[in-house]
Amino acid sequence: MADDFVFVLASGEEIPVIIQTRRGLRNITLRPRVSPRREICMSKPWLVSNAAAIRFLESKSRWVNQIFEKSPAKVKLVPGDEIEFLGRRVVLVHDGALRSNKFSDDGEKLIIGGDVSMFERRVRDFIKSEFLRELKAVVRTAPAELWPKRIAIRDTTSRWGSCSSSGTMSFSWRLAFAPYDVMRYVVMHELAHVRHMNHSPEFWAYVRELYGFGVERAKRWLVQNGGQLHRYF
């Protein structure tokens, strides 16, 4: 049998809490989930009351808040919404007569074609393709000896970029929603790993050399605001 409660985040968002009693369990287990539903699942021993379980949850409130802050509630995009990516702000427009997607002549609209039921998916795919194109352009601003053999885009939640010994560099396409200089910082960070496969003082000095002034500002922005890059899709 399960009882439902609500945990209120610092943001005011109400997260459903599902408590289950399990025979043979010795301790309370706590599992915040951000996908496919935002909820908190708890299991407790038979002799532990629901009130005690809730008190335990409240004692972990800081940790729980951090988890949901890093994965904000999804915002569903519909025609008429305004979004910003890769340094440009556009209004989303649907035109079912178009078979492809494009920017308007004045650059102020992103026009999405096809069936409206595929609207969000087509917006996402367009942003990903634009991000990959811009990503390659940023890489080419660095010395050629640092260029990766292959560039891949991923949808990771814990890492914005990675550099493998095989010569492949991977980047989270969510960086498309970050300020341009923040995206460029992540690229230079990974390119610097070609020379320094660590985070030594020499590595950071080389990142600053590649990036120029403002490395710490870009790094700080990503730490403080990175979770918001996952609010769409």
What pLDDT, in 10s, does the model give residues 180-203? 999 999 999 999 999 999 999 999
Q: Nearest 5 degrees, angle CA 16-CA 62-CA 174?
A: 75
Q: Is the pLDDT of residue 3 over 60?
A: no
- For residues 190 and 227, the model is more confident at 190
Binning pLDDT at 50, 70 and 90, where does residue 71 land? Answer: confident
64 & 91 share domain:
no
The backbone torsions φ and ψ at residue 41, rounded to the nearest 5 degrees and listed phi first, read: -105, 130
Report the alpha-carbon distance of residue 156 to residue 70 in Å, rounded.
12
Which conformational region is residue 214 in: left (phi greater than 0), alpha (psi within -120 to 50 degrees), or beta?
A: left
What is the CA 89 to chain-centroid distance, rounded? 19
The answer to whether residue 45 is domain-embedded is: yes
Question: How many other CB atoms sit within 10 Å of the CB of residue 224?
Answer: 9
Three-state SS for 109? Answer: strand
Report the relative pairing of strands 150-154 and 109-112 from DSSP bridges.
unpaired
The number of distinct structural domains making up the chain is 2
57 & 23 share domain:
yes
9 & 116 share domain:
no
149 & 193 share domain:
yes
Report the alpha-carbon distance of residue 121 to residue 173 in Å, rounded.
14
108 & 219 share domain:
yes
Three-state SS for 78? Answer: coil
128 & 204 share domain:
yes
The answer to whether residue 75 is domain-embedded is: no
Mind listing the pLDDT tens digit for each residue in 57-70? 999 999 999 999 88
Mind listing the pLDDT tens digit for each residue in 17-26? 999 999 899 9
CATH code of 157's domain: 3.30.2010.10
The answer to whether residue 21 is domain-embedded is: yes
Give which of 49, 51, 33 is closest to 41, Cα–Cα: 33
Cβ(194)–Cβ(168) below 8 Å:
no
Three-state SS for 93? Answer: strand
Please, which residues bridge with residue 19 across strands?
A: 3, 42
Q: What is the residue range of 206's domain?
A: 82-230
| Residue ending a domain, choose from 13, 45, 70 | 70
Question: How many other CB atoms sit within 10 Å of the CB of residue 185?
Answer: 27
The answer to whether residue 77 is domain-embedded is: no
Report the relative pairing of strands 168-172 and 150-154 from DSSP bridges.
parallel
Binning pLDDT at 50, 70 and 90, where does residue 86 land? Answer: very high
Instruction: Tell me the CA distances in angstroms from 228 to 68, 71, 107, 122, 138, one per residue in order.
Output: 11, 7, 24, 21, 23
55 & 135 share domain:
no
62 & 98 share domain:
no
The answer to whether residue 76 is domain-embedded is: no
The answer to whether residue 134 is domain-embedded is: yes
pTM of the model: 0.78
